[in-house]
Amino acid sequence: MNGEAGRVVELRDVLVRYDGNVVLEDIDFDLSAGEIVAVVGPNGGGKSTLLKVILGIKNIEKGTVRVLGKPPSEARNDMGFLPQISTYKRSFPVTVLDVVLMGMYGRLGLFRRPKRREREKAMDTLGQVDMAQLASRPFKDLSGGQQQRVGIARALVSEPRLLLLDEPSTGVDVVAQESFYRLLEKFRGEKGISVVIVSHDVGMIAPVVDRVALLNRNIHYYGEPTGALAPAMLEKAFGAHVRLLVHDEHCLTCSRR
């Protein structure tokens, strides 16, 4: 069952605990080359944990994880990661360009510093998210949405085959979100990159992805986006949380908080 052609991520029967509490259970999850999928669920549902398992920075208690047919720790240089906002230190003295360069540290390895080639690549990637003009600005002076875009550039700069984005649209305005999804499409088309996007909001994300996974400790649904939007499905997966998850304008009973 392993090594199926084009399989980028493969999780089988994964169990994860934090301090004894089960956070993820019976997780089967896979992703093919060039696929863009969304992982949706309520707060504490285990979305960020799932990304950390794929990255190999959270240990699993049971099951198997493969990325590009290898253990995650051996596939790190093929993954680009955007952490959920707020994990970095606010007043840290780095410029926008410094932050993007950090996306190449793993590839560079020990003892090698970013040189001109890396700088050019970083500037190029900043251009793709429309942030090149702010390259030399202190990162902390940017707005939240601008910081997210820089984070996306940092995740993309090493030309990963798998992109893991934890709530990339937090604080990003609608126009920027659309251009961001177009950017993902472009990368998929040109480089066959695969993407996992974590989101709170099924309504927003469903139209732009190939598949949706509904995650709340278990994966309750993984398939066509339309299927994930069915109220009965959402109710089953999330119970009372449904209202928080759907901001679709066609949903009459749901309101924007």
Ligand X SMILES: Nc1ncnc2c1ncn2[C@@H]1O[C@H](COP(=O)(O)OP(=O)(O)OP(=O)(O)O)[C@@H](O)[C@H]1O
User: What is d(CA 182, CA 176) in angstroms, rounded to the nearest whole number?
Assistant: 10
The piece of 93-101, 121-129, 204-212, 225-233 that touches other proteins (CB under 8 A) is: 93-101
Residues in the interface with other proteins (CB under 8 A) total 30
- 96 and 131 Cβ atoms separated by less than 8 Å: yes
167 HSE (CA, 13 A, CB side): 18
Tokens 């002076």 identify what position?
Answer: 141
Site string for ligand X, 36-55 (x = CB under 6 A): -----x-xxxxxxx------
For 69-97, b/e burial (b = at least 16 CB within 10 A) is eeebeebbebbbbbbeeeeeeeeeeebbb
Q: How far is the CB of 213 from ligand X (least distance, A)?
A: 12
Answer for which of 4, 92, 127, 224 binds other proteins (CB under 8 A) is: 92
Q: How far is the CB of 201 from Mg ion (least distance, A)?
A: 13
Record the tokens describing residue 98, joined without a space.
């410094």
Sign of CA dihedral 148, 56, 76, 63: negative
User: What is d(CA 159, CA 139) in angstroms, rounded to the nearest whole number?
Assistant: 22
Closer residue to other proteins (CB): 98 or 210: 98
Q: How far is the CB of 16 from ligand X (least distance, A)?
A: 8
Nearest to 96 by CA among 63, 129, 58, 59: 129
* Binding flag, residue 180, other proteins (CB under 8 A): no
Footprint of Mg ion on 44-83 (CB under 5 A): 48
Answer for which of 94, 132, 183, 208 binds other proteins (CB under 8 A) is: 94
Q: How far is the CB of 2 from ligand X (least distance, A)?
A: 26
Chain residues binding other proteins by CB under 8 A are: 52, 55, 57, 73, 76-77, 79, 81, 83, 87-89, 91-95, 98-99, 102, 105-106, 108, 110-111, 113-114, 138, 140-141
